[in-house]
Amino acid sequence: MMRQTRPHGKQRVIVQLYEIQDPGEAERLVEMEVDHIGSVILSPDQWKVPSVREVIRLVRQSRSKSSLITLLPKTDDILRALDWYEPDLVHFCELIPLAPGDGKKRGEVCTELIRIQERVKKEFPPLGIIRSIPIPRPVPADSVPAREAILEIARALESCTDWFMTDTLRGEPGLAADQPVSGYVGITGEVCDGDLAAALVESSGIPVILAGGISPENVFDAIGRTRPAGIDSCSLTNARDSSGRPVRFRKDMDRVRRLLDEVRRAEEEGVKR
């Protein structure tokens, strides 16, 4: 199991970018030395996407690592997809309830997620597993119940996980309908509670990637505040449409470059901390 690393001195902070479905974009990100280049399978009906398979093939030939989110509800479908794509990492982001009254349900969900991840580990031993941990948006009131639930989830899943990743939980904890993709956490473009994310980083025995509204404008401060092993950006490094809204599955390479520059600056500043 990988142990927690933090950006002290010149320790490299992992940079992970998602929604890379185009081989041409993947080649540019490899050249820019992005560490984890992630793609998404959206549907069990159209789970074979040749362009995504080519992205993974290109990334695996480089020093970067390929990561794949499979939004597939059945374990056999997940295993079939992993066999066909052969990524370096698989990323699971099912919603896990955080509400204080959801302790029983939370335990049941974690038990099922452990079953799936252990099956993946058995079938694909070299494959690394990333597990998203839901973190609420900044909590103005008592954050102790949310903190306890987050750390409970981490303790339950740590033994079958290689990386944790924070991601922003929109709306009331546990309400799947409030999320951009029902039943999953992520792609909100909204920041999570930094203190709760830092608590996960501090307590975790495995590396934690910080996600949730990460942008070139805030990544430097986010790294300084939470001290994660890596950062993840999706919506806020995507291209924008004429209304300024993020365009899914297309990166703004200027914003990616700015993000990378800010991460490297945070590494250098870490020497003085």
pLDDT in tens, 42-51: 889 999 999 9
Is the confidence at residue 220, as pLDDT, over 80?
Answer: yes
Render pLDDT for 93-143 as a digit per residue (tens, 0 to 9).
999 988 888 899 999 999 999 999 999 999 999 999 999 999 998 876 668
pLDDT at site 172: 61
270 confidence band (pLDDT: 50, 70, 90)? confident
Phi, psi (5° rounding) for residue 136? Answer: -65, 165
Whether 234 and 212 have beta carbons less than 8 Å apart is answered as no
Query: Residue 48 has what DSSP assignment?
Result: -
pLDDT at site 100: 85
Q: What is the distance between the terminal CA atoms of the chain, rounded to a whole angstrom?
A: 28
State how far Cα 190 lies from the chain centre.
14
Q: How far apart are CA 33 and CA 12, in angstroms?
A: 12
pLDDT at site 215: 96
Closest CA to 211 of 3, 1, 19, 10: 19
Amino acid present at 16: Q
Render pLDDT for 75-103 as a digit per residue (tens, 0 to 9).
999 999 999 999 999 999 999 988 888 89
pLDDT at site 180: 65
3-state SS string for 112-142: HHHHHHHHHHHHCCCCEEEEEEEEECCCCCC
Is the confidence at residue 182, as pLDDT, over 90?
Answer: no
Q: How far apart are CA 34 and CA 243, in angstroms?
A: 28
Closest CA to 212 of 34, 226, 202, 203: 226
pLDDT at site 187: 75
Q: How far apart are CA 67 and CA 153, in angstroms?
A: 22
273 confidence band (pLDDT: 50, 70, 90)? very low
Query: Residue 208 has what DSSP assignment?
Result: E
Q: How far apart are CA 266 and CA 273, in angstroms?
A: 10
Render pLDDT for 209-218 as a digit per residue (tens, 0 to 9).
999 999 999 9
8 confidence band (pLDDT: 50, 70, 90)? very low
CB atoms inside a 10 Å sphere around CB 12: 14
Q: Which domains does the chain have, with CATH numbers?
A: 14-272 (3.20.20.70)
Mean of all residue pLDDT scores within the chain: 90
Q: How far apart are CA 131 and CA 162, in angstroms?
A: 8
State how far Cα 169 lies from the chain centre.
13
SS3 167: strand
